[in-house]
């Protein structure tokens, strides 16, 4: 270390670096994990027909395509207290999936979220069958029950039946409960003919082209392979697995559509693929079925999740679906922070109040450090005359100057970096809460009251950031300062920087910092009334 670099400059550097990391974190995340260009070629699902490329256009990944079907489409509706789905007899897949608890926008007249228009597009959950040499074809089923309604305690099923290639009879069952977002699916293939048939079956999710939104969060194909979350554009565009994944799906920041192959499927070499192109993407489970003899049958099953990324709910499913939530660098703090906020919300009925209580608890936990920090800063102020004398005496000998300064700090039991310690320790908590407010659907559209209708969005009138800046300025005026005029000016300018940056931050995060400042002011007032502890 450069011994000519005096301690006060180190303090100033530590503060500057801390602030830079604090406000640069969103941009650091984007730099570490930038959106990548779509690959020029992506492997097509086995048997998918090829199409000529448009001239002067990058190659596009082909989604699983079905042979044209002339039969009239027939629809079946399933409704529970949580969602309403529309199935089609063409492939036995999803045409619409509305989540009744979630609106698309934070407005009274907003329609509910429809996953069939966002992440589980036309073709999702279709069952396709392919002979050994050929292309995948959608199975056209007889219509299932026209309308099925479930109450919370109900459990029901719908059944599609149809005939596929080579006369193979296909039965497809969906089993639902009225109190969750997961359903069980089973596909049975029966060879009622006189010849042995070699074929494969596939179930896929179709979605939009994989992208990252302006905040850096992924929308598109995603796979959880044992212990790793693999997102398109972060890994290979087309990825297949031997032992099979825990789940595959299509996602955006707040919602997930996922297929969870059974353990039997994983052992049976279930294939999993993701593909993305300029206009769409797909994630599919491919199940090879070899030599289905006359009079024999085979079945495969999988779970289907179509719903919100609610952390507590996903964690309870025991399928590792909670790994779909991007909590970022400090996920080890973000996850327990969300659990604590949800706990308080259950009893306080408002996430804004939960954030206030959460902040109070953190201030109590950090109080010993805060007191030690303020005592250290007061001590630094008290020894300024001695520091000035040492600097004057040894101004031409930097090595001796630093040695004498450290001796002075040791004599008065002062840690020169102690003043910024609470700030440094709060940065991971701040970033963890930042991630929670950005990605946790629990706080999406959650109101505080008055003019703040969404804690995950910025204050529409910038009232709380301005009040936060004022409290920070007051706190700076109350904080003991050193004689270094440059450091004092920088510290007084901090409220302006914070206010500007917080104008676009989620209002829940501004609320946390505002309450934190108010509590800090109270703590400083109380501590400054007690005798200084820094004197020898």
| Count of C-beta atoms within a 10 Å radius of residue 20 | 11
Are the C-beta atoms of residues 82 and 180 closer than 8 Å to each other?
yes
Length of the chain: 536
pLDDT over 70 for what percent of the chain? Answer: 75
pLDDT reported for residue 374: 72
Q: What is the reported pTM?
A: 0.78
pLDDT reported for residue 96: 94
pLDDT reported for residue 128: 85
Cα torsion through 185, 291, 270, 180, rounded to 10: 0
Q: Which two tokens stand for residue 427?
A: 């940065």
Crossing angle between the packed helical segments 421-439 and 351-382, to the nearest 10 degrees: 160
CA 275 to mean position of chain CA atoms: 21
Are the C-beta atoms of residues 534 and 378 closer than 8 Å to each other?
yes
Close Cβ partners of 236 (under 8 Å, ≥ 6 residues apart): none
How far is residue 513's CA from residue 492's CA, in Å, rounded to a whole number?
17
E strand segments, 32-167: 75-79, 83-88, 94-103, 112-114, 127-131, 137-138, 140-142, 147-149, 155-163
| Count of C-beta atoms within a 10 Å radius of residue 483 | 14
pLDDT reported for residue 264: 65
Q: Which two tokens stand for residue 338?
A: 């969300």
How far is residue 412's CA from residue 433's CA, in Å, rounded to a whole number?
37
pLDDT reported for residue 142: 87
Are the C-beta atoms of residues 88 and 75 closer than 8 Å to each other?
yes
Which domains does the chain possess? 73-326 (2.70.98.90), 334-528 (no CATH)
Give me the residue label for tokens 């970096």: 417
The candidate with the shortest Cα–Cα distance to 476, out of 505, 515, 517, is: 517
Phi, psi of 18 (to 5 degrees): -60, -45
Are the C-beta atoms of residues 85 and 103 closer than 8 Å to each other?
no
pLDDT reported for residue 290: 72
Phi, psi of 175 (to 5 degrees): -115, 130
Per residue of the chain (536 residues), what is the pLDDT tens digit?
444 445 455 555 555 555 555 555 555 555 545 444 433 333 344 433 333 333 322 233 344 444 444 568 899 999 999 999 999 998 899 999 999 999 999 888 999 999 999 888 877 898 888 887 667 777 888 877 889 999 999 999 999 999 888 888 999 999 999 999 999 999 999 998 888 988 888 888 888 876 766 566 788 888 888 778 888 764 444 555 555 688 888 999 999 999 998 876 654 444 555 666 666 788 888 877 778 899 999 888 999 999 999 999 999 987 899 999 988 888 899 999 999 999 999 999 899 999 999 999 988 888 887 777 777 777 777 777 887 788 878 777 888 888 888 888 788 777 766 666 666 777 888 888 888 888 899 989 999 888 999 998 999 999 999 999 999 888 888 766 555 566 666 777 888 888 998 998 889 989 999 998 999 888 888 877 776 544 43
| Count of C-beta atoms within a 10 Å radius of residue 325 | 27
Are the C-beta atoms of residues 139 and 128 closer than 8 Å to each other?
yes
The candidate with the shortest Cα–Cα distance to 517, out of 462, 480, 456, 470, is: 470
The candidate with the shortest Cα–Cα distance to 100, out of 121, 84, 118, is: 84
How far is residue 339's CA from residue 240's CA, in Å, rounded to a whole number?
35
pLDDT reported for residue 36: 41
Buried b (16+ CB within 10 A) or exposed e, 99-119: beebbeeeeeeeeebbbbebb
pLDDT reported for residue 198: 86
Are the C-beta atoms of residues 169 and 295 closer than 8 Å to each other?
no
């Amino acid at each position: 270390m450069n011994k000519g670099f005096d301690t006060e400059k180190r303090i100033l550097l530590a503060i500057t670096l801390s602030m830079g990391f604090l406000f640069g974190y969103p941009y650091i995340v984007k730099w570490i994990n930038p959106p990548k260009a779509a690959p020029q070629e992506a492997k097509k699902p086995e048997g998918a027909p090829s199409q000529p490329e448009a001239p002067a256009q990058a190659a596009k990944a082909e989604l699983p395509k079905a042979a044209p079907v002339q039969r009239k489409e027939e629809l079946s509706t399933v409704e529970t207290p949580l969602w309403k789905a529309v199935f089609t007899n063409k492939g036995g897949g999803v045409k619409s999936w509305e989540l009744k608890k979630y609106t698309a926008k934070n407005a009274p007249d907003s329609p509910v979220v429809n996953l069939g228009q966002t992440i589980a597009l036309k073709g999702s959950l279709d069952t396709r069958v392919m002979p050994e040499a050929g292309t995948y074809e959608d199975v056209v089923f007889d219509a299932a029950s026209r309308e099925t309604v479930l109450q919370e305690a109900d459990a029901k099923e719908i059944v599609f039946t149809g005939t596929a290639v080579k006369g193979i009879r296909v039965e497809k069952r969906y089993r639902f409960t009225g109190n969750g977002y997961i359903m069980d699916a089973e596909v049975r293939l029966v060879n009622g003919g006189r010849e042995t048939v070699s074929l494969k079956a596939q179930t896929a999710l179709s979605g939009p082209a994989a992208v990252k939104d302006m905040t850096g969060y992924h929308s598109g194909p995603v796979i959880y392979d044992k212990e790793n979350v693999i997102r398109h554009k972060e890994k290979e565009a087309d990825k297949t697995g031997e032992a099979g994944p825990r789940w595959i799906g299509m996602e955006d920041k707040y919602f997930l559509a996922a297929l969870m192959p059974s353990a039997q499927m994983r052992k049976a070499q279930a294939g999993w693929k993701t593909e993305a192109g300029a206009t769409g993407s797909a994630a599919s489970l491919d199940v090879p079925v070899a030599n289905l003899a006359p009079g024999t049958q085979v079945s495969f099953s999988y779970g289907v999740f179509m719903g919100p990324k609610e952390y507590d709910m996903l964690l309870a499913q025991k399928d590792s679906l909670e790994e779909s939530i991007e909590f970022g660098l400090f996920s080890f703090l973000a996850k327990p922070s969300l659990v604590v906020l949800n706990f308080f919300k259950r009893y306080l009925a408002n996430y804004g109040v939960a954030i206030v209580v959460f902040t109070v608890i953190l201030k109590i936990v950090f109080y010993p450090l805060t007191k030690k920090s303020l005592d250290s800063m007061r001590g630094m102020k008290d020894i300024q005359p001695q520091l000035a004398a040492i600097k004057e005496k040894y101004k031409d000998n930097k090595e001796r100057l630093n040695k004498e300064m450290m001796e002075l700090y040791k004599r008065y039991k002062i840690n020169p970096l102690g003043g910024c310690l609470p700030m440094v320790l709060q940065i991971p908590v701040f970033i963890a809460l930042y991630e929670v407010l950005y990605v946790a659907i629990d706080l999406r559209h959650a109101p505080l009251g008055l003019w703040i209708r969404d804690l995950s969005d910025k204050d529409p009138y910038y009232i709380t950031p301005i009040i936060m800046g004022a409290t920070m300025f007051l706190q700076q005026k109350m904080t003991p300062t050193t004689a270094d005029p440059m450091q004092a000016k920088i510290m007084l300018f901090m409220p302006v920087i914070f206010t500007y940056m917080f104008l676009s931050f989620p209002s829940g995060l501004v609320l946390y910092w505002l309450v934190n400042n108010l509590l800090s002011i109270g703590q400083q007032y109380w501590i400054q009334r007690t005798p200084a502890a820094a004197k020898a």
